[in-house]
Amino acid sequence: MDESSVLSVEGFKRKKVAGNELAGFFRGIRTRHPGQEITFLCIGTDRSTGDALGPLVGTRLEEKGFTSVIGTLKFPCDAANLEMRMSVIPEEHIIVAIDACLGSASSVGNYLVSGLPLIPAQSVGTVLPAVGHYSVAAVVNVNGPKPYWTLQMTSLHQVMEMAGVLADSIVQGFRGQ
């Protein structure tokens, strides 16, 4: 997914936030859905540095005791299995979709948050369904003419730092820690 399409797809409104603002976004979800089960749908693959953000977040959430997580380093949720993996999520669950994206140079390192779904793999030309009741897209690198190459060459350090901030913010937002 690329930042420009995230910001304009069918009028979906997204807000660009820094890492220190994420916990508030997650706190808001918890407040709006007290007692409801939240499923974190962490999209991406462990085979591409830039696209590993989702599985890294999912793995960290499982390590922190979250049980309703789809998409980890061991069992990624990617373009090949997204629809099948989503089919096992109970309808009553609130889904928070998490994915990496490419964007403008000024947005790299920031997060695009929304109370709307995201469309995974858009920047690489893959057609997948919109997913999530809420979404977070982490801008891991600059969008360019070769998105697959850009994702492959994205800094692992950048992706791991952003995944850590995201996972820690989810813990703060949902557990108040």
- d(C-alpha 165, C-alpha 28), whole Å: 17
- d(C-alpha 153, C-alpha 41), whole Å: 24
Contact between 99 and 1 under an 8 Å Cβ cutoff? The reply is: yes
The 10s digit of each residue's pLDDT in 23-74 is: 999 999 999 999 999 999 999 999 999 999 999 999 999 999 999 999 999 9
- d(C-alpha 84, C-alpha 98), whole Å: 17
Burial label, 157 (beta-carbon count in 10 A; 0-12, 13-18, 19+): exposed
Least Cα distance to 75 among 89, 90, 55 occurs for: 55
- d(C-alpha 2, C-alpha 171), whole Å: 26
Res. 1: pLDDT tops 50: no
Q: Using the 8-state DSSP alphabet, how is residue 99 labeled?
A: E
Res. 10: pLDDT tops 70: no
The domain covering 3-172 belongs, at the CATH homologous superfamily level, to: HybD-like (3.40.50.1450)
Q: Count the alpha carbons within 13 Å of 55 in the hemisphere toward its beta carbon.
A: 19
- What pLDDT, on the 0 to 100 scale, is given for residue 177? 55
Instruction: Give the relative orientation of helices 22-32 and 156-175 as an angle to the nearest 10 degrees.
Output: 40
In the chain, the N- to C-terminal Cα span, in Å, equals: 31
What is the value of pTM for the model shown?
Answer: 0.89
The 10s digit of each residue's pLDDT in 125-175 is: 677 889 999 999 999 999 988 887 888 889 999 999 999 999 999 999 998
